[in-house]
Amino acid sequence: MMSRPSTDARPPAWAESVLRLLLPPRNRDSVSGDLLEEYRDVVLPSRGVLRAKLWYVRQLVSFVTVTSVGRASIDWMKEDVMFERLWRVTLVCSLLVAAVLLTRFLFDVIDPVDPVERFLAQVRDDYSEFNYPRRWVPAVAVGAILIGGGLFAAWRTSRIAMGTMAAAIASAAGSVIYVTLVVLVNILSAPSPDPLSDVPAGLRYFGNVPTMLVPVLAMLGILLGTIGGLFGRAIHVIRTAQSHG
């Protein structure tokens, strides 16, 4: 039996939001209105709530194209205040992380440490090199940047997830910048080619490039960004309570 169309029933809110995001501004109201009308008039009475919601999601999927996703991303970046804040924090933190890593790299270039010697020293339980500030200051600085970035992002957006995202992206982007520059330095500073080797001279130095740094720092960014995000969210809640009290 067909029941009377309801004007209260709604498709999933998230699906409506995504649909509106995917549509060009001139069609947002008209197309979402058409689908809402079909949902209430025909689909919901004939299929029931669950299947009607699935129907709506299927319609949403049909709007997902490269163009619509691209446009939605650009619109979101332009219009979303949260993204604007997240973007700025992430950019600053990325550059700071890259700057710290590059500073450390420059110190290593000026005063190189033989990795074999370092390894052998650690085997002998000799960690004296960690007494040198250049060994631990960069690590502390990167940690502080990631926690600070996570804190700031979560504070400004009131979402812990934004803190995690800001720090994770910043750590990954910062380390990618660093690794890219180290690769360039390796290529540009490579000695003359070894006639006995088939490998181009610059590429032999890729073994020195810390590519694993990118995923390791990204994981660290997630962890520290979440910690910072928890503090940022707490600050947001406290300040909001103070302003209302």
Residues of the shown chain interacting with other proteins in the complex, contacts defined by CB under 8 A: 5, 7, 24, 27, 29-38, 40-41, 59, 61-65
Nearer to other proteins, 20 or 135 (CB): 20
165: CB partners within 8 A, 6+ apart: 86, 90, 153, 225
> What distance in Å separates the CA atoms of residue 230 and residue 161, rounded to the nearest whole number?
9
Q: What are the E-state strand segments in the chain?
A: none
Q: Give me the amino acid identity at 106.
A: L
C-beta of 12: minimal distance to other proteins in Å? 15
What are the tokens at 89?
Answer: 């924090």
Distance, CA of 87 to CA of 93 (rounded, Å)? 10
DSSP for 29-92, written as a single string:
HHHHHHHHHHIIIIIHHHH-HHHHHHHHHHHHHTT--HHHHHHHHHHHHHH-HHHHHHHHHHHH
Q: Give the residue with the Cβ less far from other proteins, 58 or 239.
A: 58
Residues 88, 94: Cα–Cα separation, whole Å: 10
- Of the pair 23, 172, the CB lying nearest other proteins is at 23
| Closer residue to other proteins in complex, CB, 34/79 | 34
**Distance in angstroms (rounded) separating the CA atoms of residues 87 and 235:** 20
Q: What is the nearest approach in angstroms of other proteins to the Cβ of residue 30?
A: 4
Q: Using the minimum distance from each CB to other proteins, give the nearer residue, 41 or 84.
A: 41
**Closest distance of CB 47 from other proteins, Å:** 14
CB of 38 to other proteins, least distance (A): 5
Write down the least CB distance from residue 224 to other proteins, Å: 41
Q: What torsion do the CA atoms of 82, 87, 88, 91 make, to the nearest 10 degrees?
A: 160
For the bound state, the minimum distance from the C-beta of residue 108 to other proteins, rounded and expressed in Å, comes to 54
- Name the residue nearer to other proteins (CB basis): 2 or 81: 2
